[in-house]
Structure 1
Amino acid sequence: MVHAYLSMVGGSAVRLVLSLVYFICIANVLPISEFGLFASASATGVMVSRALAFGFMSPLYRVATVKHRLIGTYTTGFLVGALFSLPLIVALCALIYFLLFAEDMAGPVFLRFMLAEIICWRGLEVVSNVLNGTGQFARSALMVVIGQALRTLSAVAFYALSFSTLSDWSSFYLASNIISLAIAIVVFYPRVRLRWRPELYIRRWVDSVSVAGAEILFYVQSEFDKLVVLAAGGPEVTGIYAIVMRLADLTALPVRSFNTLLVQQIMRSPAILKRGRTKPMIEAIIAGVSLLAIAGMAGYLTLFPRGLGNNVAEIAPFVAMVLLVPGFRNLVEYHSELLYATGQTVRRVVNLACLGAMKVGLLWLLLQETTAPTGWVPMLNLVFLAVYATSMALTYPSVQRWAAQR
């Protein structure tokens, strides 16, 4: 487990560096308002992508973890499910575009961002999960690093060639994601024979759809905030929020690697949850790592305000105001993974629906009070504290009952 974690964290460290370079290039070329639009469109794609194949990635991952010989069969199920889910995905994208983006972003630009996130990057995540399920953590980490590297190269090229519009960036972004998906499928996906077994897929239908719902709701509560900020405060406020939250999100990379291993360990050894000190110890570690990471970022920007570029320098003073936000966000994600690991997919859906509604409501109320960054940015700590406390109250009683039954 230590070797697997180090392999995954090694990949996460490289991704962290690449993500930082990528972020610096884009955040300092696009105006803050256009960066906010890009972040909002990307968040839309991430949320909607969870409906791809109606969540059939979950049965595929479980099979990759415990029954390798069925990977080809469940890969076929995923591909067919993806095809049938496309009308729903198109309808969701069209609805969100006309409600929020039509006035500020051209349709073809929005479409390119959706293709990049929903088809290309989500496809790469499917390959990564299958590799993790089969224990090939180093190959999975390498593949994701290659994908992030291609995104970063496209951002560097965008910066170096003096392009500056959101339309230009959408073309660079889509091209890098298409290449990443092609490499993931051709080079990294296990060599399997595709087989059609509908009787197996029907048995997994409830689990698949509930996981899809939970995934959508999880990303609603983690990504929908950008759309709420866009609707309540406009592109400029969204740009500030997106940059602050992007810096906070960089702290989650080592935590997500830990969550992946923890989920597998709980699936194989449920008794781990019966140890009384395990849960508070894990929460303390996640919170501590998150706090140290964002504090380090805030300290760096205090000493070198232009260390991440001129545009980010305008946002640098706000980073120190959200020191608690990354920890609360990462702990909510950990709670969601606990419910997934214990097979409580319906409970996970209910919890995430409650958390998403709470977060959206609190952000909306906050921005109705003030759109001045010095007013609403520090209050984000209280917003995410409320979401975390609710998540803890909803999650641990269910996990405790599940563990007691075993």
Structure 2
Amino acid sequence: MAAGLGGGASLLALYGAARWERRQELAHADTAWGSAVLAGPAAETGSRPAAHAGSVFHGLNPDERVVPFSPLRRPQLLSLVDWCRGPSERRLWQVSGSAGSGKTRLLIEAVEQLAGEHVECGWVRHGQAIAAAEAAVTRPGRVLLVVDDVDASPRQQDDLASMLATLARAPSGRVKVILCGREFASWWSRIRAAMDPTDQAVLTPAGRTVLTSSLADPADQVRQFQGAVRHYARYFERPMPVASLSSTTTAISIAELHAAAAITACNGLTGPVDLATALRQLFTTEEAWWLTNAAEQQPAITLTLPVLQRAITAATLVGADSMDQAVRRLAHLPGLTNSSPEHLTELALWLHQLYAQRRGQWLDPHLPAYLADRYAALCVTAHPGLPAALATAALTT
């Protein structure tokens, strides 16, 4: 009897040890997954609740989903979702379109729908494509990886090639990938040419979604502008202004229309709203918010608006992998070359908390792509020495 009890105790001990090891394995797997992916296209970085109150840019980010998803994009959404939930062994889908065409918003809608169908979705963090693939193949069930801004840098494309090779050799097609970028022509063929021939068939895209950004029909422009103003008035808690979009014979993008609607609602513009004037007011309003936010969050920052403009432009175009790197890069900007490390650190910390950061990078403000591009272009034009300084900063490790 004693021997039987001893044997039972040994079995229980072995069972307990096995369960403990299994729990440890699952915990490590969850940690690896969380280190490689985000739940959305951006991550909050220490902002307090309502920290973005007053920022029009923040309200225009696709994550906020202020304007309901367009039913005109439902066919593209269904194509993505049907491929991901289906049995296709082709593990890749491509989404392309110009800045402001609605790529990220489409992906947000697809991820939300798939998450409700028990598909585990992750937005691949900056520089973590290979780790994301390795973590994904260990997850139970169906997994979708979203890689946004795939054409952002050559380094990301090299990582992407290794990531896809890992997934191509996985035993089943339950892990799928959506690649999203402005274009694929200049680099995708190079990646495919370097692939193992046995991988190429699996990694031939199952489909491609190409989004156009323009609204050419004047009647459609008017209708969508009025609807967007109504939603932004509710978002900014403002009364609905009596305003209309000035008639135009040229096609405008959805991003432009939403930007004009947002500033119309936020600032209470009335009468005919000219698109170019609305965008100028939008940038002026956001700059005023920067000054107010800097005074509240980092009183030690006593910089002029032109210097803040350059800092925002550098954060958007160059970014940084760490606070120390951000400090070193900011030191190259006109107006900051003689600043102390302490002062530059305060500036870097302020930039870090001003907006959520895209893809988990330490400094890469999550801003509407169309507006960020346009604002950066204006700043580069207004500050002649800025392009050279940005080039030097980008090479600073």
Structure richer in strand, relative to its length: 2
Report the structure number with the largest CA radius of gyration: 2
Structure richer in helix, relative to its length: 1
TM-score by length of 1: 0.24
